[in-house]
Structure 1
Amino acid sequence: MNPSNQSPNHTAEDESQAVVTRRIQRLSLHLMAISAQNYDLCIVSCSSRGKLEVDKAQLSRYMRGKHREIQERVFEYFNSRPDLQTPVEILKDDHRELCWRQLLGLVREAGIKPFKYVAEDPAQYFAIAEAVGSVDMSLGIKMGVQYSLWGGSVINLGTKKHRDKYYDGIDNLDYPGCFAMTELHHGSNVQGLQTVATFDPIKDEFIINTPNDGAIKWWIGNAAVHGKFATVFAKLMLPTHDSKGYSDMGVHAFIVPIRDMKTHQTLPGIEIHDCGHKVGLNGVDNGALRFCSVRIPRDNLLNRFGDVSRDGKYTSSLPTINKRFAATLGELVGGRVGLAYSSVGVLKIAATIAIRYSLLRQQFGPPRKPEVSILDYQSQQHKLMPMLASTYAFHFATANLVEKYSEMKKTHDEQLVGDVHALSAGLKSYVTSYTAKSLSVCREACGGHGYAAVNRFGSLRNDHDIFQTFEGDNTVLLQQVAGDLLKQYKEKFQGGPLTVTWNYLRESMNAYLSQPNPVTARWEGEEHLRDPKFQLDAFRYRTSRLLQSVAVRLRKHSKTLGSFGAWNRCLNHLLTLAESHIESVILAKFIEAVQNCPDPSSRAALKLVCDLYALNRIWNDIGTYRNVDYVAPNKAKAIHKLTEYLSFQVRNIAGELIDAFDLPDYVTRAPIARQSDAYAYYTQIVGF
């Protein structure tokens, strides 16, 4: 404005005030227009293609597969026994006893014996574990300690003599046991364990000792109350005839009785203490164990990978301590497989509760019109629909992991062993971390009612939280994945073989690392963005770039910092690399599951959900793709727009998608998640 044209009484302050007033008026009109006129238009435009028709029964059948029957047997048994259902409020000691009675009932009354499946049909075992965990997560963990850890160590690390002696007692719960690996000072670093087992050739016995407080076995499930045996991991020390006195043969596993079979009294030389009240899983009796010159027969060494003869000679089919250690831990990888699989089960329950409530709860809406479901709000869709898509993605990825693990147990194929080891580490870490965060999101999405204990988010969140730590801390496990990727990267350029999971590095890495095509970087059509090849290429391109760049950084820093220092300097980069690789694997398995689905309506629904999973992940890391010109600005905008549209489309079938999980009301147990009469049931719970 030309100052000469202003009237004498018109000041700069007046003009500033006028500008502010005009802006407020425009903003008010804009908001009023959206709320009063455009709301219905938004819904119509988004839904113009129509809602998909989903055959819930067919989709559920495809999801749950051949293990549906055993899970329903678990559900129906506990539904028929109200006295075995865990109340919302229960004291720690009462919860432990209830959990033990639940396990006894499952095995001795319902006739479901998980132990035989640990070795014969692991997929069936994991299906039981998922179902049992939905009844009470403490029960799922206690069952896992008894059968997968204690029982699994006996049959996987022992030999025929151990199976003959202990199998039936473990199976029928006459021999409740523990898995005593973790120590006060050492958890993830198992090779650093300090408990020792010294061979006494005169008495033909091992002497188990806890040399210092740091070596006390800690967080040992079943130890505080119910356990009678423990598989104790300790350094095997053999006497020598030289000045050293003893030779350290590395960490081995030993069966150590800890309580009298008849009186249940703690045995001499063993000290047991209760680890006390925990953040969650208080139905599991975690304890601490100290050993003072506890003698066990030589036969109690679980000797599959290393044995000691009567005269003190050590023999093994594996030449080094490191190879024996790797073989021992390789046999225990089932715990990680089970946790990844069970974590998806927890996510299904949480997503079901949050989405059912979001469909039920109505709040606000256009003037003089009925209130709308809170799932109609874009913000709620943004919270829950990508999570629902991830739940489906994780389901297929972990189901594939279980299949690989089962095949590995049958064939003992060396390449498959390596593949399962790395994949289980990555999926356990990635899935449990995602579920832990999602439980809080679900709670918040349900507002105040999500805070009611009866609606389960608190107990689910607390019980699941430790999934991120046991069977391998998630940060440590991701480093294992990154280390394996770097090993594969090195072998790729030396012409060596690659395990199945890493095939794409061999087949396509050079293409991924070349300059992005400036033409495809600008393609923004929906057909292109929903093309599985584009989605998978984008995921793998990111992984390949991260892998190449971290390899260069490690090589550079190792010259001045050494290998350990260089690794630590690049640690965050390595963790991102591992997560990116696992996301690539998850997407590949999801795409495969979509293509293999025989029912057309289910396949269409899964394709929609898969596209949302893929594009939402790309959008969440769009900065990376933009920085390397893999995605041009217009394409990034199109990805964002399509992701929001797909979220709305998935919202339209959200009810059918969670129904396909086939979780009855008596399994989800949250009043706000009931499929009918939710509010009526909820009010009855509090006494109306």
Structure 2
Amino acid sequence: MAKRADHDHGKQQEEESPIIPATTLRRIERLSFHLSPLGPVSNRADPGSEIQLLNCAGKAKKIAVNKDELSRIMRGRHRDVQQKVFDYFKSRPELQTPIEISKDEHRELCYRQLVGLVREANIRPFKYVVEDPSKYFAIAEAVGSVDMSLGIKMGVQYSLWGGSVLNLGTKKHWDKYFDRIDNMEYTGCFAMTELHHGSNVQGIQTVATFDPVTDEFVIDTPNDGAIKWWIGNAAVHGKFASVFAKLMLPTHDAKGVSDMGVHAFIVPIRDLMTHETLPGVEINDCGHKVGLNGVDNGALRFRSVRIPRENLLNRFGDVSRDGKYTSSLPTISKRFGATLGELVGGRVGLAYSSNGVLKIATTIAIRYSLLRQQFGPPKQPEISIIDYQSHQHKLMPMLASTYAFHFATLHLVDKYAEMKKTHDEDLVGDVHALSAGLKAYVTSYTAKSLSICRESCGGHGYAAVNRFGSLRNDHDIFQTFEGDNTVLLQQVAIDLLKQYKEKFQGGSLAVTWNYLKESMNTYLAQPNPVTSRWEGEDHLRDPNFQLDAFRYRTSRLLQSVAARLQKHSKNLGGFGAWNRCLNHLLTLAESHIESVILERFIEAVKSCPDEGSRNALKLVCDLYALDRIWNDIGTYRNVDYVAPNKAKAIHKLTVYLSFQVRNIAKELVDAFDLPDFVIRAPIGLQTADEAYSQYTQLVGF
């Protein structure tokens, strides 16, 4: 009787349907055909059945993807050196980091891992810092995939300590230190951050006073707030430190000294033979941390430590034997800017490596969601949790973002390499702002995504053996070091405002901001009432529409915040106005970075040589773009850029694209080409049949 009642109810619905206007029915039919994985509404057996939606989702047309070809595109030209890293650690299982390890054991293991990589595997990252930065960052990504602590320790040794010698020193420093830094004989630290000063480097209080009598600099920590803090390699292994301090010269003026601004100095901190702490240097251990406990962070205090005058890293400023200061740059601010400009490699590496962490996390979560089955239609087999719309909503846009970040950070690495080769001033400024923005945006997104991945794997995501805890804890600090993310986004906003001002004064714009010059008037014009209502799939998946939408939002935000700053500065002054508009400025910076990311993704799709891979990348790119537009749909609705019907179409298409990406999700994560021993999580193994057996064995069952 129940079935008969349902049939009669359905018949009654069909008989009553003519009361709906024909135009409305056609619109529903057309939208259903374009936006539903199930085809037109009239073909559905039960449009309200969520179970049928789930069962049919897997039957949507699947793009043919050659995983090996897509992997070749993703791993790029440095696949061989990354594979060399993986092969070395696979051949040395005793060097692989165990699940449970004490702080001290982890520190010693990381040291052995790095020494082995350099001396046994003959992988020399330091030479690539100079010769081919893109290859260095590829090695860093692979090493960080093996153990994030190892990746950071390598970065401290070669990018920070070694990089400061190369980038801030001159030939005499390269000749003396390069080979010994390269072979790990001269292990070192990068001593910039102080207990009281982190992001505000110009405010650091450590001083280096020149003594003309002995031809030495005297390094002093004047108070507790000036103690160098969180210094990697300091607690155990470091023998030298690049110490950032205010260079003070004796003069005959009223103050008695002359502050020449922040400079870097090579300061020995331990005896090369005995490894004992040198006189005047006090080293303390920063102790157990939330994560990255394989890195020996320490605190340094200096009490009248004397170093030769030649230990000043003198690329941007030098002191002669008679105490005279010379520099090619006329002011403290210009010297400081040039010094920090040479150290952006750390931000480039963090953005690139953070996306490497995101690749691991999405791989584990997606493979498990394909494996794990839960619930289903009555008297039928359970379905995979990835077939639930809510699960796709969590993971598929994240997978799309991982691909988007890959191409954006790869672009940043290439620009950085070009900058190091050409030293072009415009390129220096462009890389500085882009590295700040991408580092902030990617690391923040990855940090949030790690928690989502853990939740997506339920209780098994909470097991230490499945790695989400260690990944989340180790990565969390990425949001802070090499520049706090909030501070870095403000640097992006400052640069945008500078470019905006120059646009109206007729100045030239850096390449990254070209759209502000070329199309600002278009983006700031009143939205077209016709295009604001276009809702067809072809239009919404058109990269021109997507990029225009991103850029329109950025241009509106830029124009409005410039007006607000001008208004508030009259009463509050410059600092007060900036603080009043700070949230607006951060949103502006994030919007611009999203525009840059999308632009690079679109270019990657266009230039992809393999048709199957190109189709897959286009699908993923569309999901990335439309998901971002939908997440900020209120902004577009408030200015009538998107009409209500178009907003609904964007949402439906985003859901549909998530269904489609789900169908090739396995191929997409497999294309990251991360070996099982690198993934290490048993629920994330490539062979699903082995997942539970490996899982139970690892926990001792």
TM-score interval (norm. to shorter): over 0.9
Partner of residue 487, structure 1: 498
Relative to the length of structure 1, the TM-score reads: 0.94
Query: Which of 532, 535, 539 is matched with 2:550 structurally?
Result: 539
Query: Which of 669, 672, 676 is matched with 2:680 structurally?
Result: 669
Check whether the contact 1:307–1:316 (CA below 8 A) recurs between aligned residues: yes
Show structure 2 runs of 5+ residues with no match: 1-43
Distance 1:627 1:69, change over 3 A: same
- Aligned pairs for 1:452-491 within 5 A: 452-491=463-502
Distance 1:375 1:197, change over 3 A: same
Relative to the length of structure 2, the TM-score reads: 0.93
Check whether the contact 1:99–1:138 (CA below 8 A) recurs between aligned residues: yes
Query: Which of 524, 532, 555 is matched with 1:513 structurally?
Result: 524
Determine whether 1:102 maps to 2:113: yes
Partner of residue 219, structure 2: 208
Q: What is the deviation of 1:119? A: 1.1
Check whether the contact 2:119–2:183 (CA below 8 A) recurs between aligned residues: yes
Partner of residue 5, structure 2: none
CA–CA separation in structure 1 for the residues paired with 2:512 and 2:568: 28
Q: Which amino acid aligns with 2:309?
A: R
Determine whether 1:296 maps to 2:307: yes
Determine whether 1:682 maps to 2:695: yes
CA–CA separation in structure 2 for the residues paired with 1:294 and 1:51: 67
Query: Which of 413, 421, 432 is matched with 1:410 structurally?
Result: 421
Query: Which of 407, 423, 447 is matched with 2:458 structurally?
Result: 447
Secondary structure class of the residue paired with 1:254:
strand
Query: Which of 570, 575, 580 is matched with 1:569 structurally?
Result: 580
Q: What is the deviation of 1:42? A: 2.5
Partner of residue 67, structure 2: 56
Q: What is the deviation of 1:686? A: 2.1
Distance 1:630 1:45, change over 3 A: farther
Write the deviation string for residues 343-378 of structure 1: whole angstroms up to 9, x where unpaired. Answer: 000000000000000000000111111110000000
CA–CA separation in structure 2 for the residues paired with 1:559 and 1:150: 45
CA–CA separation in structure 1 for the residues paired with 2:52 and 2:473: 43
Secondary structure class of the residue paired with 1:277:
coil
Q: Which amino acid aligns with 1:586?
A: I
Distance 1:506 1:296, change over 3 A: same
Secondary structure class of the residue paired with 1:230:
strand
Check whether the contact 2:60–2:660 (CA below 8 A) recurs between aligned residues: no
Secondary structure class of the residue paired with 1:262:
coil
Write the deviation string for residues 257-287 of structure 1: whole angstroms up to 9, x where unpaired. Answer: 0000001010000100000000000000000
RMSD over equivalenced CA pairs, Å: 1.2
Q: What is the deviation of 1:48? A: 6.5
Show structure 1 runs of 5+ residues with no match: 1-32
Determine whether 1:594 maps to 2:605: yes
Distance 1:237 1:79, change over 3 A: same
Determine whether 1:111 maps to 2:122: yes
Superposition misfits of 4+ residues, deviation over 4 angstroms: 33-37, 43-49
CA–CA separation in structure 1 for the residues paired with 2:136 and 2:215: 37
Q: Which amino acid aligns with 1:235?
A: K
Distance 1:683 1:45, change over 3 A: closer
Partner of residue 10, structure 1: none
Q: Which amino acid aligns with 1:323?
A: K
CA–CA separation in structure 2 for the residues paired with 1:612 and 1:127: 27
Partner of residue 286, structure 1: 297
Q: What is the deviation of 1:242? A: 2.3
Distance 1:45 1:357, change over 3 A: closer
Check whether the contact 1:36–1:366 (CA below 8 A) recurs between aligned residues: no
Write the deviation string for residues 416-437 of structure 1: whole angstroms up to 9, x where unpaired. Answer: 1010000000000000000000
Q: What is the deviation of 1:687? A: 2.3
Q: What is the deviation of 1:47? A: 6.0
Query: Which of 558, 561, 575 is matched with 1:550 structurally?
Result: 561
Check whether the contact 1:36–1:367 (CA below 8 A) recurs between aligned residues: no
Q: What is the deviation of 1:243? A: 2.1
CA–CA separation in structure 2 for the residues paired with 1:317 and 1:674: 56
Bigger mean CA offset, 459-468 vs 362-371: 362-371
Query: Which of 357, 374, 384 is matched with 2:395 structurally?
Result: 384
Query: Which of 381, 388, 413 is matched with 1:370 structurally?
Result: 381
CA–CA separation in structure 1 for the residues paired with 2:94 and 2:78: 26
CA–CA separation in structure 1 for the residues paired with 2:109 and 2:656: 47
Q: Which amino acid aligns with 1:680?
A: S
Q: Which amino acid aligns with 1:136?
A: D
Partner of residue 183, structure 1: 194
Q: Identical aligned pairs, as a percentage? A: 83
Bigger mean CA offset, 418-427 vs 241-250: 241-250
Check whether the contact 2:365–2:684 (CA below 8 A) recurs between aligned residues: yes
Partner of residue 653, structure 1: 664
CA–CA separation in structure 2 for the residues paired with 1:74 and 1:400: 23
Write the deviation string for residues 55-96 of structure 1: whole angstroms up to 9, x where unpaired. Answer: 111111111111000000001100111110111110000100
Write the deviation string for residues 282-301 of structure 1: whole angstroms up to 9, x where unpaired. Answer: 00000000000000000000
Write the deviation string for residues 37-58 of structure 1: whole angstroms up to 9, x where unpaired. Answer: 9456425765665110001111
Give the length in aligned residue pairs.
656
Distance 1:573 1:36, change over 3 A: closer
- Aligned pairs for 1:69-84 within 5 A: 69-84=80-95
Query: Which of 332, 341, 358 is matched with 2:369 structurally?
Result: 358
CA–CA separation in structure 1 for the residues paired with 2:447 and 2:693: 30
Q: Which amino acid aligns with 2:465?
A: V
Q: What is the deviation of 1:684? A: 1.4
Check whether the contact 2:51–2:376 (CA below 8 A) recurs between aligned residues: no
Check whether the contact 1:272–1:288 (CA below 8 A) recurs between aligned residues: yes
Write the deviation string for residues 222-263 of structure 1: whole angstroms up to 9, x where unpaired. Answer: 000000000000000000022221100000000000000001
Q: Which amino acid aligns with 2:332?
A: I
Query: Which of 144, 156, 160 is matched with 2:167 structurally?
Result: 156
Write the deviation string for residues 191-241 of structure 1: whole angstroms up to 9, x where unpaired. Answer: 000000000001000000000000000000000000000000000000002
Check whether the contact 1:35–1:366 (CA below 8 A) recurs between aligned residues: no
Check whether the contact 1:46–1:645 (CA below 8 A) recurs between aligned residues: no
CA–CA separation in structure 2 for the residues paired with 1:554 and 1:545: 14
Q: Which amino acid aligns with 2:391?
A: Q
CA–CA separation in structure 1 for the residues paired with 2:544 and 2:675: 37
Write the deviation string for residues 463-510 of structure 1: whole angstroms up to 9, x where unpaired. Answer: 000000000000000000000000000000001000000000001111
Q: What is the deviation of 1:173? A: 0.4
CA–CA separation in structure 2 for the residues paired with 1:336 and 1:463: 17
